[in-house]
Every structure is written in structure tokens, then in C-alpha cells.
Amino acid sequence: MAKLSPFAPACFPQLPPVPGVRLATAAAGVRYKVREDVLLAELAEGTTAAGVLTRSKAPGAPVDWCRKILGNGRARALVVNAGNANVFTGKAGALAVERTAKATADLLGCKANAVFVSSTGVIGEQLPAEKIVAVLPQLRKELSAGAWEKAARAIATTDTFPKGATRSATIDGVPVTLNGIIKGSGMIAPDMATMLGYVFTDAKIGKEALQTLLTKGSDRTFNCITVDSDTSTSDTVLAFATGQASHKKISDHRDPRLRDFRRQFDSLLQEMALLVVKDGEGISKFVTIAVTGAASAGSARRIGLCVANSPLVKTAIAGEDANWGRIVAAVGKSGEKADRDCLTISIGGVPVAAKGQAVTGYDEAPVAAHLKGREIDIAIDIGIGRGKATVWTCDLTHEYISINADYRS
Amino acid sequence: MAKLSPFAPACFPQLPPVPGVRLATAAAGVRYKVREDVLLAELAEGTTAAGVLTRSKAPGAPVDWCRKILGNGRARALVVNAGNANVFTGKAGALAVERTAKATADLLGCKANAVFVSSTGVIGEQLPAEKIVAVLPQLRKELSAGAWEKAARAIATTDTFPKGATRSATIDGVPVTLNGIIKGSGMIAPDMATMLGYVFTDAKIGKEALQTLLTKGSDRTFNCITVDSDTSTSDTVLAFATGQASHKKISDHRDPRLRDFRRQFDSLLQEMALLVVKDGEGISKFVTIAVTGAASAGSARRIGLCVANSPLVKTAIAGEDANWGRIVAAVGKSGEKADRDCLTISIGGVPVAAKGQAVTGYDEAPVAAHLKGREIDIAIDIGIGRGKATVWTCDLTHEYISINADYRS
């Protein structure tokens, strides 16, 4: 078990009920013997669903399933298990998902294609679906509106703390709630890092609008974080809108009545994404990289991620070393449009390099003090355009190597 | 100073003279105080030159210079200094290169644009060109045909051993020699990993043909190695053909008389590239990843590099863990055409995963024994085409973190 992240919150936040959502957890013994490892979320009739799924070319069977049923845009349940990712498990893996969905559907009286399924854990081992199916009746009995922290714990693998967040918003004057739970990205070999995140709201939003909100929101949040550059085979974020709130249904994501909701939705996604980084393997520093002046927003994000994924930048930060040369090199290798002689790099708000060379005589004391802190801010101005993006990462430490190498399966 | 790489050869190989090439080294005190840090190579009149240079968008001033003069395809000298990379040094950096080239040209009686210049070391500090210029007269006096090991040592930064290789070939029945020296990729913050490699031959080959040989050869060698995915601002490989051999000049790279030469040239480049990996920071295992059955050779190489750069694969190898799930995930994230259900992965020659699932009941003993060894072989068959490529890398160890993080500038 890895050490508790220094960024773990003091306690799990108070998540209010979301009308139309009931949760239950159980210990099915899929892999872990002494903890709850299955989550069932029951969703009210009329719930719309949206999702963003890993772009991996070797996705897990549950990802294939979610991608398939997302077309319907309807959800009545979500089943998540931890301990076995059901990835690279061939036809048997796909059957395990179907079996789980079918059993859940029979129990709740809905169609199997309204049951979303996720798995996280070991790759390449057959998922014993029968163990999950066996606990479903008990789960159904225990469904409650308040089991958020238990839900966040049940989907965790080697996370060092359970992760949840909440927001409220008004739509057309009607208050709605948004809750999110997420897991990632601690891991122990031979387990696989996977990010699974779920957003629940009682807002009444059409599936296309919900999908657009999620896709756009993910681009600026989940797609802007990195721990170690390794994309998972199972990354999944699903959003469910139960429609229990009393406002009129909103079908267009550009509807001005969605303005507050969208702001809260994006804010929730960002908090969820940052919680994942804050539990990044071996983290000792939380790093924010703000890129401005790039050719486009996409270019800014790619540059930011290239810097965030550079082992040399990450180790320099771990070493509290103001090594901006490594940042320059990472910008250079990104392949994005950039001009060395227009580049400005600031650490902790202090410009250290500008216009193609070091800022001579800058005050090193505040930079050194900043680097000794836990939250590191790097600002990179490319100086050629108006594209900007912010990405978040953690440093690369001995603890990361210990977690991922000092273990024999 | 990092520990000697376990892959360091027992001694520097015996490099024979290359007619038309004379070398000298000196201690200019650019950064290091107690070692030789400048190399001068004098090249006979008529020497053709070819080069491949970093694609970084933040290249060093010497890279800019080399790119500019490579158009001429002529070389009379090469000057390399270690300790200062002359990167991100603005206009003064460009002037430092010009000053070095001009002083060398004056001394040797040639044009400045026939003098190639490379620098490696710290980023962002002004290069004191006057220190290099000051030792040039002494260097000229001491030029000799046999100083290959001294040359390899003078261009090193935090390499743990000097790197050289040699081949002989015949062109049209005439024997020719090919020598290579190279440095990389040890580093200590705030220094920058840089790969600088130089090939010298007395063959008489036109500049276009030499450039084509170098470009094609680099694609299968230097562009197929990775230590930590961080592209340098200074990566440079130059090839010089002095034309002193008595065969007739060859101007077309497809000339059948070049067949043996090309084979030896490619073999030399490969040995040089592998020497760099074998001095990879913190290396404990040397890893060969052979990718077959991809959509194209380029796709195979990108998949191989994606696996080679995966921190999770690299730490699993460091941990001697047959964690093929991480290899699957790395193939999946490459974005290249692949089908999970066609994928086969072998470790040490033993298939461990095939056709979308684990190979049940494979004999783990030889796989475990293989992983305890120093040289690790991973074979990945994508199963969809005929593209293939081999890439080489090292594992990711605590020593890598120590070298790059446990240091304060």
C-alpha cells in the first residue's frame, strides 16, 4: 500500500443526495478479500447518459460495451467493480460484461443496454462475473441516496484516498445538484492505472446536450492532466442526468439557461481531474503549467502536456531545481509551432528566461522558495499567438519507481 | 558522478586512422576544470559532409549553424566543446559559434562555412568562445591520426564511458575505414542530455549520396533509440567522407558499389546508437523491442517507441516483472493502427499474450529467468500487416531519479 498522498483532503466532502440516484456497495471478492469492490448505482427512468472513453486501441471489454450503448443515451444503472479491469480478456471478457448488464437489467426491470459497466484493476485475467452477479440482489436491497463515500471507496484500486466532489447550480431558477466520484491513479504492478469518473445530476438535459457538455468539459479538464503519460485501456468518464429536477427539459447545449449549470459542471470536472493528479503515484509536488501565446488552444495544450510528461522536468521539480533549460527542451520537442526567441518562462511568477535567453540577474530567492513549496506554478508564454491552456501534473519521484518497480508479481 | 554503466565495454576499441582525418583535444576550461573539453578534427580538402540534426523547435545555436552550412556539403574541420550547450543563448550564442568557426578557418586556411561546430552541456549560459579560440593554435599543433579515445572522452559530459566504434568496407575493391565517436546520454541537472555523434570515413562519396546514407541509416538506428523520451535541443549526427581512398568517386547512393559500404555504415550507426542506450541514465537492463506485423515500418517504429517510452513498461522491466498488460496498454495508447484481438506479445521468446488474451498455462520459468538477466527481449506482433521495426531502450530505475532529481543547482 502506497503512502497517503500529501494532497489527500482531511476528509471526504459531504455529498448531498441527487434525486433519481441511489447507490449501494458490496464485497464481491473479485480480487480484494477484505473490502467492498462493487458499486451499483440505480438511475431513475428517463436518465440521459453521456460518456468520454479511452482512445486506446486496446480498450477493455467494459469500454467497448459503454461505447456501444452510449448511442442510446439512456441509462438505468451503473455497475463498477475494482480489482479486475477485464482488459485483454477476449470473447469471454465481452460475455462477462453482457452477463453483468443482463443480470442487473433483470433485477431492475430495464433493458441490458441501459446498464453501464466499468471495471478497473488487473489486466489479462478473466473477470469472474458470477461473483458480481451474486451480490446484485443484496445491492438492490441496500440502495440508498447517501452512500457516496462508500461508492468512491468501492471503485478505488490503489488510490490512497477516496475522491468525490459536489456542486449546485440553478437552471431556469430551479436548483439542481451535481455530484462526482472518481478513481485513479495509484497502482501496484501488475495492476493498471485507470481513471474512472462518474457525474450524477438531477438536471433534465437531453443526451446530445449532455454529451456536448461532457466532451467540451473533459477537453479542458481530464484531457489536461497527466501523471506519467501512460494512457489506460479503461479510462472512462460517464455523466448521468436523472431529469428529476422540476425545470423544463433542455435539449440544446447552447441554451442560455444552462449557463450556471455549465459553469458548475466544468468546475466539478476540474475538481475531479485535479483529485486524480493529487493522488498521482509518488507525488510530492502538484504542478500547474499555464501555457499562453500559442498558435491555438490545442497547440497550447499539447505543449503543456509535453512539458508535463517530460521526465526531466518532473525530476527537476522533485529535486526543487529551477532547471528551466529542461522546460525549453520540452517545449522544443513538442513539435508545435514555437520560436525559441519569443519564448518566456516563469516559475512561481518570476520570469527566468525570455526572448531566447536567460533573464540575467533575476531574483532567485523567491523562485527557490516557491520550488520548496508543494504547489508549483510554471507559466510558459510561446509569444506567437493567442492560444492558451492549463495542464496539471505531479513530479516524478523515487516513490513512483518504488510503487511500479519494487514489486514482483 | 554516476556509477559506471553495467554495459560499459572493458576498454575503448582500437580505432585505426582514417586517411584525411587528424584529431586533437585540449582542456579549455569552458566548464570542467580538470579534463579535456574541446575536440578539433581537421578534415582533408575535398571532404564531403552530411548531417541529421534535432527537430527540436528550440535548437541550440550550433545546430542552427550546422543546418545552415550543411547545404554546402563540404567540411574542413569539426570543433566540439563539452560543458556548455550554447542553447537558449540568443544572438550572443550565434556569435560565439561564428567566432569559433572563423578562428578555426583562419588557422586552417579554409572558409568558416566549412567548419562544423557542436556544443553540449548546460543550457542557457553564454558560451565563452574566447576560451575555445585560445586553445585552437595548440590543438592545431597536436593534430594526430590516432587520438580517437581522447576525442571520445573530450566530447563527453556525464557519460560513464567513452564511446567509439569502427568498421571497414570495400568500395570497388578498395578498402576504406569508417570510425564513429558518440556521446550521450548521462546527465546531471542542470545539464542537458545531448547526443552528439560523428562518423569519419576516407571513402570518396558525394555529399548527396552521403546525406541519403546518413538519413536512411539514422532512421533505423538513432531514431529507434530512447532513454527517457526527452528530445534534446542539440542532438547532432554528422558524417564526413574525406575522399582519400583511391576508388572512383561515388555520387549516387543507389550505386551497387556502395553495397558493402552501406552495410558497414549502417552497422556502425547501430553500434553507436546502442552505445548511447547502454549508457542510459540509471540503466540496469538493456531492452530490445521488436515490432512486426504493423501497418507500416513507420507505424511499427512508433509503436515500439511508445512501448519503450512507457514509464510503466520501463519500471516493470526494472522490477523484473512479466507485466505484459502494461505492454498492451502502451501499444493501445500509441494511436497506431492495431487490433487488440490480433496482438501477440512474447518476452524472451515465450508468447505470453495472444489473440486478445493471456496465453493460459505458458511456462513462466523461462520468462522469469529471462527477466532476471541484463538483456531483455520483447517481441510484439501487431498481426495486421507487414511493417516491422526494432527499437532499443533501457529500464527506468531509482538511479535515474537520483541522477536527475537528487541534485540542486
Q: What are phi and psi of B374, to 5 degrees?
A: -90, -25
Among chain A residues, CA nearest to B364:
A409
Evaluate if residue A337 carries a pLDDT over 70.
Answer: yes
Q: What is the pLDDT of residue A234?
A: 74
The answer to whether B332 contacts A56, with C-beta atoms less than 8 Å apart, is yes
Q: For residue range B331-349, list pLDDT tens digits in order.
A: 987 888 888 889 999 999 9
Q: What is the pLDDT of residue A193?
A: 46
The answer to whether A123 contacts B329, with C-beta atoms less than 8 Å apart, is yes
Q: Which of B63, B185, B230 is the mutation pick for testing A, counting most A CBs within 10 A?
A: B230
Q: How confident is the model at residue A335 (pLDDT cuts 50, 70, 90)?
A: confident
Residue closest to A32 by CA, chosen among A140, A183, A158, A184: A158
Average pLDDT rounded to a whole number, residues A333-360:
89
Pairing type for strands A48-53 and A236-241 reads antiparallel
Q: Which of B54, B55, B88, B408 is the mutation pick for testing A, counting most A CBs within 10 A?
A: B88
A194 has catalytic annotation: yes
- What's the pTM? 0.82
Contacts of A122 in chain B (CB under 8 A): 325
Order across the sheet with B174-183: list the strands: B48-53, B236-241, B196-201, B174-183, B163-171
How big is chain A, counted in residues? 409
> What is the C-alpha separation between A181 and A120, in angstroms, rounded?
14
Among chain B residues, CA nearest to A341:
B90
Helices (H), B279-335: 297-308, 311-318, 324-333
Scanning the structure block, which residue is given the C-alpha cell 548527396?
B208
Q: What is the pLDDT of residue A197?
A: 84
The answer to whether A190 contacts B339, with C-beta atoms less than 8 Å apart, is no
B21-278: which CATH topology? L-amino peptidase D-ALA esterase/amidase (3.60.70)
Dihedral over alpha carbons B194, B199, B200, B203 (to 10 degrees):
-160
The answer to whether B325 contacts A123, with C-beta atoms less than 8 Å apart, is yes
The answer to whether B353 contacts A124, with C-beta atoms less than 8 Å apart, is yes
Q: What is the pLDDT of residue B190?
A: 29
Contacts of B396 in chain A (CB under 8 A): 311, 401, 405
B286-405: which CATH topology? Ubiquitin-like (UB roll) (3.10.20)
Evaluate if residue A244 carries a pLDDT over 80.
Answer: yes
DSSP secondary structure code for residue A2 in this structure: P
Residue A323 makes CB contacts below 8 A (sequence gap 6+) with: A312, A313, A316, B189, B190, B409
Q: Which of A321, A339, A404 sits opposite B312 (nearest CB)?
A: A404
The strand ranges marked E within A152-220 are 163-171, 174-183, 196-201
ipTM of this predicted structure: 0.78
Judge contact between B165 and B271, C-beta under 8 A: yes
Q: What is the pLDDT of residue B231?
A: 65
Contacts of B331 in chain A (CB under 8 A): 57-58
CA distance A8 to chain B (A): 23
Q: Which of A124, A324, A340 sits opposite B358 (nearest CB)?
A: A124
Contacts of B55 in chain A (CB under 8 A): 333, 335
Q: Which residue positions in chain B have pLDDT lower than 70? A: 1-2, 185-194, 228-232, 406-409
The answer to whether B56 contacts A228, with C-beta atoms less than 8 Å apart, is no
The answer to whether B325 contacts A87, with C-beta atoms less than 8 Å apart, is yes
Most distant CA atoms of chain B, gap in Å: 71
The answer to whether A190 contacts B323, with C-beta atoms less than 8 Å apart, is yes
Q: What is the pLDDT of residue B189?
A: 26
Q: What is the pLDDT of residue A230?
A: 65
Q: What is the pLDDT of residue A3?
A: 79
**Among A48, A120, A166, A194, which one carries the catalytic annotation?**
A194
Q: What are phi and psi of B271, to 5 degrees?
A: -60, -40
> What is the C-alpha separation between B136 and B101, in angstroms, rounded?
11
The answer to whether B87 contacts A328, with C-beta atoms less than 8 Å apart, is yes
Q: For residue range A56-104, list pLDDT tens digits in order.
A: 778 889 999 999 999 999 999 999 999 999 988 889 999 999 999 999 9
Contacts of B323 in chain A (CB under 8 A): 189-190, 409
Judge contact between A405 and A190, C-beta under 8 A: no
Contacts of B319 in chain A (CB under 8 A): 189, 404-408
**Domains B21-278 and B286-405 are alike in CATH topology:** no
A202-206, A218-222, B157-161, range with greatest mean pLDDT:
A202-206
Q: Which of A319, A334, A353 sits opposite B406 (nearest CB)?
A: A319
Structural element, H or E, at residue B5: none
Residue closest to A49 by CA, chosen among A240, A206, A237: A240
Average pLDDT rounded to a whole number, residues A183-192:
48
Hey, where are the domains in chain B? 21-278, 286-405
**Among B25, B194, B226, B344, which one carries the catalytic annotation?**
B194
